């Protein structure tokens, strides 16, 4: 089964992708890293050519991942990936979509602890400004995220939480537990 992890920046998509992939013994794919490898440029460099340019590269990466990993995989998508070019529908048709939900303060705290460059949050490192930018992004994306198959509160999530969420969609439920 393909599992797509979606959610806001800072919700832990890459962290949970690594944990789930190791636990399930599936390949784990970080879509942002895949985009960078395919395009030969960093995410900020791609965004410098405009967000529409980046979104085209991101969709090309999504389609490539779906084609390359036709069975078992855990994919950490970019935060905006499901929100553009019918990508969410493609993910839902190709596998199980999990929305990793966290409060804005949880997300801000995680982002401040990480060293990743986030073009849509650039320049908003201070607490209040970062929260305002996250709120704007969340407002624009929340209705898309809510269309995922399952929502998981990442503030309290464990591998057991994910196992319970995945089990109803698994062809082999015994392999989940």
Q: Which residues are registered as beta bridge partners of 170?
A: none
For 33, the enclosing helix (H) or strand (E) is helix 31-39
What are φ and ψ of residue 96, in 5° steps?
-100, 130
Which tens digit of pLDDT belongs to each residue from 82-102?
999 899 999 999 999 999 999
- Structure confidence at residue 170 as a pLDDT band (50, 70, 90): confident
Which tens digit of pLDDT belongs to each residue from 27-64?
999 999 999 999 999 988 998 898 899 999 999 999 99
Q: Which domains does the chain have, with CATH numbers?
A: 2-160 (3.40.50.300)
- Hunting for tokens 């970019």 — which residue is that? 78
The whole-model pTM stands at: 0.90
**HSE-up of residue 149 (Cα within 13 Å, Cβ side):** 21
């Amino acid at each position: 089964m393909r599992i797509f992890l979606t959610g806001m920046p800072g919700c832990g998509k890459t962290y949970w992708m690594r944990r789930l992939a190791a636990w399930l013994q599936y390949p784990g794919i970080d879509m942002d890293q895949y985009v960078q490898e395919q395009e030969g440029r960093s995410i900020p460099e791609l965004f410098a050519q405009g967000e529409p340019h980046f979104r085209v590269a991101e969709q090309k990466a999504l389609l490539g991942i779906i084609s390359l990993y036709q069975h078992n995989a855990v994919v950490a998508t970019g935060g905006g990936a499901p929100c553009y070019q019918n990508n969410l529908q493609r993910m839902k048709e190709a596998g199980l979509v999990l929305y990793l939900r966290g409060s804005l303060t949880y997300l801000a705290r995680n982002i401040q602890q990480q060293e990743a460059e986030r073009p849509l949050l650039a320049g908003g490192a201070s607490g209040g400004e970062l929260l305002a930018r996250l709120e704007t992004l969340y407002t624009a994306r929340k209705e898309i995220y809510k269309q995922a198959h399952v929502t998981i509160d990442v503030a309290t999530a464990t591998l057991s939480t994910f196992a319970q969420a995945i089990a109803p969609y698994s062809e082999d439920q015994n392999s989940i537990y």
